[in-house]
Amino acid sequence: MKKKGNNSGKILGVIGLGYVGLPLSLEFVRSGYKTIGFDIDEKKIKVLSSGNTYIKHIGENRVKEMIETGFFEPTSNFSRINEVDAISICVPTPLDAHRMPDLSYVIDSARMVSKNMKKGTLVILESTTYPGTTREVLLPILEDGDRKLDKDFFLAFSPEREDPGNKKYNTKNIPKVVGGISQNSTKIAVELYKTIFDAVVEVSSSEVAEATKLLENTYRSINIALVNELKVILDRMGINIWEVIEAAKTKPFGYTAFYPGSGLGGHCIPIDPFYLSWKARELGLNTRFIELAGEINTSMPEYVVEKTIFALSEHKKALRGSNILVIGVAYKKDIDDARESPGIRIMELLIERGANTSYYDPYIPEIKGFRQTDLVMKSVDLTDELLSGQDAVIISTAHSLIDYQKIYKNSSLIIDTRNALWGIKSDKITLA
């Protein structure tokens, strides 16, 4: 890992060493900044300190190199915030049980920063949230003790744009949107991030930056809901949605291909649009597109189970008592992240209906302690014997390294939600 060295006079901090904060820390170090990574999870600190990783697409070599530079130090000691010149907050922003924004991680982080930061610190929130959060929530916390914006500290918002598993785009080459609470805060944040990212997009305010991220993910949510709804309609007509999409995307203008599946997962698309809905309701406005898209996408696991029930009945079998194997519980292919995974929801529904359910995922060896489920299960070995003993196999996530020919050869019934067996025409394959 090369260090530029010309930035070594500044120390940067990152709060939250997860799927956003750890890649960001890597780029800080690559740009020659001494970086302190903060996290409350002692297990993460121990893993990183030993040069290992807990995020599969961020290889151990990258973490080891980062540690060996001497420019990165992970810690759970938040008093060391007083050592940094700028700090990026990259903590979760989930929904609570009532699908309301849960800003507790952001608020706790802001309080830690306020308690420990030195004069002149630049604070940048990267966690996705509703427009106004940086100004209405963080600013008052940081102003505690008569501190003044642009004098004692600077404050901006810069939305994370991570896409785990993407081979073309990474933290550094994805344009970085930045908007500050004030012009001076924007200027200082832009100047810093220009030394780290290939392109920085300056916007007029933190609210614009916050809304930019929500637009991006709401756009995806609505378009994925559209193709999921079309999948159901076209299936009833006997038309293959995947073939329709392949034909439609030959149009060189006015169309962007989106693909159906077993539902939406991850921390962004299933959650972020509801932050915008909540803020709109606060203003007395309805977000019908967003709500409808959410309803369609969250209903897809139920649709997959119904298709499984129908396919089993064609084989004169009932779901209750049947052996069902779910392939893939990560929320997208080739990553080890199962947050809000539709595959897990499918398993819950199968178990509720009396099916003997198991799963295989090379990236998720165990389901335990996940926020969205009480399930405790381990991934099984994908053997010929296991497959031949299943009444149905559901492909929920189509990882590249899975042997689909093996699945096809040894399975009696396959429910394919990802078109993983494209090109194979067989009565034992049901698209869902």
**Contact residues for 165 (Cβ-Cβ < 8 A; gap 6+):** 57, 332, 333, 334, 335
Structurally, the chain folds into a number of domains equal to 2
- Are 406 and 277 part of one and the same domain? yes
DSSP bridge partners of 180: 156
Residue 358, both tokens? 């198991």
Helix (H, G, I), strand (E, B) or coil at 135: helix
* E strand spans, 369-410: 377-378, 392-395
In a domain, residue 112? The reply is yes
Sheet holding 11-15, edge to edge: 72-75, 34-38, 11-15, 86-89, 121-125, 153-157, 176-180, 200-202
Q: Are 10 and 86 in contact (CB under 8 A)?
A: yes
Q: Judge whether 4 lies within some domain.
A: no
Catalytic residue status for 90: no
Amino acid at 288: R
Last residue within a domain, chosen from 149, 171, 204: 204
Whether residue 266 sits in one domain with residue 406 = yes
In a domain, 189, yes or no: yes
Element spanning 30, H or E: helix 21-30
Report the first-to-last Cα separation within the chain, whole angstroms: 45
Helices 288-314 and 342-352 cross at an angle (nearest 10°) of 50
Q: Which one of the listed residues 268, 296, 330, 382 is annotated catalytic?
A: 268
How far is Cα of residue 9 from the mean position of the Cα atoms in its chain? 33
**Final residue belonging to a domain, choices 178, 204, 230:** 204
Helix axes 21-30, 60-68, angle to 10 degrees: 50
Domain boundary among 179, 204, 229: 204
Cβ within 8 Å of residue 307, ≥6 positions away: 415, 430, 432
Residue 191 domain-assigned (yes or no): yes
- Domain range for 185 is 11-204
Q: Are 246 and 193 within one domain?
A: no
> Is residue 132 within 8 Å of 210, Cβ to Cβ?
yes
Residue (of 88, 154, 153, 100) closest to 130 by Cα position: 100
Report how far residue 400's alpha carbon sits from residue 22's, in angstroms, rounded to the nearest whole number.
24
Q: Kindly state whether residues 176 and 318 are assigned to the same domain.
A: no
Q: Report d(CA 168, CA 193) in Å as an integer.
A: 21
Other Cβ atoms within 10 Å of 256 Cβ, number: 10
CATH of the domain at 282: 3.40.50.720
Distances in whole angstroms, Cα of residue 395 to Cα of each of 301, 366, 392: 12, 18, 10
Encode 36-64 in three state secondary structure. EEECCCHHHHHHHHCCCCCCCCCCHHHHH
Give the residue among 263, 255, 249, 260 at the shortest CA–CA distance from 227: 260
Residue 6 confidence (pLDDT):
53
Does residue 3 lie in a domain region? no
Looking at the structure, tell me whether residues 154 and 248 fall in a common domain: no
Q: For the chain, 432 residues long, give each residue's pLDDT as a single digit of tens.
A: 444 445 658 999 999 999 999 999 999 999 999 999 999 999 999 999 999 999 888 888 889 999 999 999 999 999 999 999 999 999 999 888 777 899 999 999 999 999 999 999 999 999 999 999 999 999 999 999 889 999 999 999 999 998 887 889 999 999 999 999 999 999 999 999 999 999 999 999 999 999 999 999 999 999 999 999 999 999 999 999 999 999 999 999 999 999 999 988 877 777 888 888 989 998 999 999 999 999 999 999 999 999 999 999 999 999 999 999 999 999 999 999 998 899 999 999 999 999 999 999 999 999 998 878 899 999 999 999 999 999 999 999 999 999 999 999 999 999 999 999 998 989 999 999
Distance in angstroms (rounded) separating the CA atoms of residues 11 and 15: 14
Asked whether 273 and 214 are in contact (CB, 8 A), the reply is yes
